[in-house]
Structure 1
Amino acid sequence: MAQEFESFRVYKETLALTQKVFELLNHQHLKNEFEFSNQMKRAVLSISNNIAEGSEYNNNAQFVRFLKYAKGSCAEVRNMLNICNEIYHINTEDLKEHCREISVQLSKFIDYLKNNDNKRS
């Protein structure tokens, strides 16, 4: 039986990041920035959603594709954290570092899957 996505360390890290981003969006400077907040929520949720969706395919190539989407969403979140810092003067360095760590974990996971059997059981 394939490992369930909830057991992946990188998935657990994305949930922690998601919680922190949602907390950030309660900041007084962001409360009325509905479009910005909505986009950031969608981007951070997309990271874990892509890990979950990709894991359900019984094919490493498909899973890798979704992990790459997750990496892209992680970069989008990091960009939006840069905007929080530049425009709203909110310190987001810890969150950006968390994004970088997740991106590295995703890269390692992608490399692992590429170097192993195509079928997962």
Structure 2
Amino acid sequence: MKFKNLEVWQLSYQLSCAIYNQTKDLRDWGYKDQITRSGLSVPSNIAEGIERQTNKEQIQFMYIARGSLAELMTQLMIGRDINYLDPEFVEQQLQQANKISAMLAGLIHKIKNR
């Protein structure tokens, strides 16, 4: 399982866990479900993509992961602005998400140039 060695997967895994831990007591099940699902989707798609056979498939899953990351970032900002999530927590996670996004862009570029 080579995906576990990727720093981008490790960081997105940590991000997903942080989202779950931060939202475990939320009573808004719709919001909680949506933000945890988008967070879970990022490392899941990275893992699935890396284990695929072709460059085209791998790239497709990395783009899906980036899309889920953008969705997560939006939900984090909404959670902050409606007072569901601590602003400091959100800022930390947004910084992490920006780093992950840049890493995914680099990985996509690397796969394209193989």
The TM-score normalised by the length of structure 1 is 0.87
Q: Between Structure 1 and Structure 2, whose CA radius of gyration is higher?
A: 1
Matched, 1:40 2:55: no
Question: Which residue, 50, 60, 64 being the options, matches 2:55?
Answer: 60
SS in 1 for 2:82: helix
Residue 90 (structure 1) shift: 2.5
The TM-score normalised by the length of structure 2 is 0.92
Matched ranges for 1:70-109 at <5 A: 70-88=65-83, 90-91=86-87, 92-109=90-107
List structure 1 segments (4+ residues) > 2 angstroms apart after TM superposition: none
Instruction: Report % sequence identity.
Output: 27
Deviations 1:18-40 (A, max 9, x none): 1111121035xxx1111100011
Structure with the higher helix share, 1 or 2: 2
Q: Name stretches of at least 5 consecutive residues in structure 2 with no aligned partner.
A: none
Structure 2 CA distance for aligned equivalents of residues 81 and 115 of structure 1: 33
Structure 2 CA distance for aligned equivalents of residues 94 and 68 of structure 1: 23
Q: Name stretches of at least 5 consecutive residues in structure 1 with no aligned partner.
A: 117-121
Count of residue pairs brought into register by the alignment: 111
Amino acid at match of 1:46: S
Please give the root-mean-square deviation of Cα atoms over the aligned residues, in Å: 1.3
SS in 2 for 1:58: coil
**Which residue is 1:119 aligned to?**
none
